[in-house]
């Protein structure tokens, strides 16, 4: 599903900017960044989606995230 806009919710239609924030959060988690490094202002939609992307990395342990679209895979648990 790489290349599709997403925000981890199969029932929404995110904007490009929202999808970017979500996938940047996933990328940060993949790189080992702390969740506290979210670059978006607290309380904004982008901050929430970045956090969701960051959380989605660990949420994938042992299960495929078939509704996700980010280039970075979820944590495999290994």
For 57-74, what is each residue's pLDDT tens digit? 877 665 555 556 777 776
36 found inside a domain: yes
Phi, psi (5° rounding) for residue 29?
A: -65, -40
51 found inside a domain: yes
11 found inside a domain: no
More reliable by pLDDT, 76 or 64: 76
Predicted pLDDT of residue 69: 76
State the residue range of the domain holding 41.
16-59
| Torsional sign, CA 5, 35, 41, 44 | positive
In the chain, the DSSP E strands lie at none
**What are 22-50's pLDDT values in tens digits?**
989 988 988 999 999 999 999 999 999 99
4 found inside a domain: no
10 found inside a domain: no
68 found inside a domain: no
Domain count, the chain: 1
Predicted pLDDT of residue 9: 80
H helix and E strand count, the chain: 2, 0
pTM (two decimals) = 0.79
Predicted pLDDT of residue 59: 75
């Amino acid at each position: 599903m790489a290349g599709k806009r997403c925000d981890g919710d199969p029932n929404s239609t995110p904007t490009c900017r929202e999808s970017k924030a979500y996938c940047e959060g996933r990328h940060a988690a993949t790189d080992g960044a702390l969740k506290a490094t979210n670059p978006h202002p607290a309380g904004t939609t982008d901050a929430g989606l970045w956090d969701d992307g960051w959380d989605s990395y660990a949420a994938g342990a042992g299960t495929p995230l078939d509704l996700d679209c980010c280039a970075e895979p979820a944590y495999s648990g290994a």
